[in-house]
A = this chain, B = another copy of it.
Amino acid sequence: MARAEIVYFSAMGHTEAISRSVRDGLASVDGVEAGLLRVDEVEGDEAWGRLDRADVIVLGSPTYMGGVAADFKRFMDQSGSRWYGRVWMDKLAAGFTVGGGLSGDKQSALQSMHVFACQHGMIWVSMGVGVREPGLDRLSSSMGLMCQAGNAPAEQTPPAEDHATAVAFGERVGRVAVRWVRGDDAES
């Protein structure tokens, strides 16, 4: 069984809605168990323990001023004890972000997530979805999932194509996680 945890921050609900679609994609893969954690829930041994036991941690944040939200960065900084103990070494990591523009510096937010994962010694699962797959990845992202939301409520935006892409991205990350866990089990 591969355990996936999605850690996300969402102020307006758009990133939360995308988180659920990523979770649906992950959970649709045989052998994957997927949980959701809002960053403000990541305090205390229980929540940190869930992350410590995960095989893959998926990071999600809106893009604010060209980077992850401050609340999300707080979570990153608080993971310093895990960094010190190399607790997350060799876990898989992946990331997604939601912004108001088509590009809008969303790639910088994904880069921040990637360098964070590298600090922990994690292994980064790229987007892997959308090239020559019509109806997926309208924004042409490769480092992780990019979605674009307008000012309407989360029921209306990001559009259905972004949610479909989020599901496909979750499935892709889930398949990689299953293989990664299987490689570990096979050893013993």
Contacts and interface: CB of A to CB of B under 8 A. Distances in A.
A12 interface: no
Interface string A122-142: 111111100110000011111
Contacts of A116: 65-67
B103 A102 contact: yes
Contact of A101 (B70, B100, B121, B140): B140
Interface stretch (A18-26, A42-50, A79-87, A152-160): A79-87
Contacts of A71: 70
A100 to B, nearest CB: 7
Interface in A83-109: 83-84, 86, 89-90, 99-108
A38 interface: no
Interface residues of A, number: 66
Contact of A143 (B89, B115, B184): B115
Contacts of A90: 128, 176
Interface in A139-188: 139-143, 146, 176, 178-187
Interface string A62-81: 00111111110110110110
Most chain B CB inside 10 Å of its own CB: which residue of A84, A104, A127, A132: A104
Interface string A39-61: 00000000000000000000000
10 contacts: A64-B76, A65-B116, A66-B115, A84-B132, A105-B107, A105-B115, A105-B118, A182-B183, A183-B186, A186-B186
Interface of A: 64-71, 73-74, 76-77, 79-80, 83-84, 86, 89-90, 99-108, 111-112, 114-128, 131-132, 138-143, 146, 176, 178-187
